[in-house]
Structure 1
Amino acid sequence: MSVEGDHYKALSKLVEISPGRYREDHGLSFADFEIGDVYEHRPGRTITETDNMWMSLVCMNDHPLHINSEYAGGTEFGAVLVSSLVTFSIVGGMSLASTSNKGIANLGWDKVRLLAPVFVGETIYAESEVIAKRRSESRPGQGIVTVKTKGVKASGEIFLSCERSFLIEI
């Protein structure tokens, strides 16, 4: 995707709502998605101990590997692991602005894979590839887009992957 192309401009644009006044308009419309396009979601996010502790407990994941440094230090990992519920949520959030920001509904996540541990202090990024799009058979005027999203550490290691489908206006 070229930075100069109209396709790129659709990701983030300003819409004039009155003379000299503009509103940001984020996200893609159905027509903007092209199978094979890859979106690198930025900014990245450095995971903190607070992120992991609070989100683990909000999700009611009280496994000591995620919230107890003494316990975690005695495991093969040697340190607290960031809960996959935390990393999955952050990667999902990172991907929204340039995928389903104009979506009507998430339809589901498939093929969720946890490929490597994430530790407090690591910086993570996300990227999504458009793998399918079609008109909805049951909802005229709407379409279904499917993306494969990966969570990627600053080192380049992929720690998470999943496929997500969402409904969007045509």
Structure 2
Amino acid sequence: MMRGLYFEEFEVGRVYRHPFTRTVTEMDNIMFTSLTMNLQPLHLDEEFSKKTIHGRRVVNSLFTVALIGAFHVPELTMGTTLGNLGYDEITFPHPVFHGDTLRAETTIVDKRLSKSRDDSGIVWFEHRGYNQHDVLVCFCKRVGLMMTRPAEPGESEEGAR
């Protein structure tokens, strides 16, 4: 099984350009919007949306941040995260529409060992999502609790760090 990085493996300042892309479909937007009980016609009603500044339906921004926030998982956090601690900032500088193909980048902003747990550290991430025209569509700052590297057999707990 592929795994993400342990706390010690994160390098502050490193930028990861994730290799995955995903074309957002009408079905993605309708299902996510319906599952989350968001009745906003901007996401669901084509006729309503034609009269807005966008002229068409806009993909639910919470779907966008969820997708952009997932592109990093295989490379960075698969099986090594203990959870999100928070999102400090989320912005959507440009709307996403049905048919847009998104990609993401992640920058490691900072990290420190946990003060309350001896098996983890805290990592600050910045995730950026771009459409097929390299237009920034999503930016978010996230804080995650990451596992420290387990001690090897015969290695002391301190030696693992």
Q: Partner of 1:162 in structure 2? A: 140
Q: 1:110–1:163: 8 Å Cα contact kept in structure 2?
A: yes
Counterpart CA distance in 2 for 1:118 and 1:40 is: 20
Counterpart CA distance in 1 for 2:43 and 2:95 is: 11
2:5 to 15, 19, 28: 28
**TM-score, with normalisation over the residues of structure 1?**
0.83
1:129 to 86, 89, 107: 107
Alignment size in residue pairs: 147
Q: Partner of 2:74 in structure 1? A: 97
How far is the alpha carbon of 1:105 from its aligned partner?
1.5
Q: Partner of 2:27 in structure 1? A: 50
Q: Partner of 2:153 in structure 1? A: none
Q: Partner of 1:38 in structure 2? A: 15
Q: Partner of 1:9 in structure 2? A: none
- Return 5+ residue gaps in structure 1 as ranges: 1-23
In structure 2, give the amino acid aligned to 1:161. Answer: F
Structure ranking higher in strand proportion: 1
How far is the alpha carbon of 1:141 from its aligned partner?
2.8
1:136-147 to structure 2, matched below 5 A, reads 136-147=114-125
In structure 1, give the amino acid aligned to 2:125. Answer: V
Counterpart CA distance in 2 for 1:58 and 1:141 is: 36
Secondary structure in 2 matching 1:54 = helix
CA deviation string 1:103-149 (max 9, x = no partner): 11111111111111111000001110000010011111311111100
Counterpart CA distance in 2 for 1:133 and 1:150 is: 19
How far is the alpha carbon of 1:99 from its aligned partner?
2.4
Secondary structure in 2 matching 1:167 = strand
In structure 1, give the amino acid aligned to 2:72. Answer: S
Q: 1:56–1:66: 8 Å Cα contact kept in structure 2?
A: yes
Secondary structure in 1 matching 2:77 = coil
- Return 5+ residue gaps in structure 2 as ranges: 149-161
Counterpart CA distance in 2 for 1:25 and 1:33 is: 16
In structure 2, give the amino acid aligned to 1:148. Answer: E
Secondary structure in 2 matching 1:112 = strand
Q: Partner of 1:106 in structure 2? A: 84
**TM-score, with normalisation over the residues of structure 2?**
0.87
In structure 1, give the amino acid aligned to 2:33. Answer: S
How far is the alpha carbon of 1:94 from its aligned partner?
1.3
Counterpart CA distance in 1 for 2:2 and 2:62 is: 29
2:62 to 85, 99, 113: 85
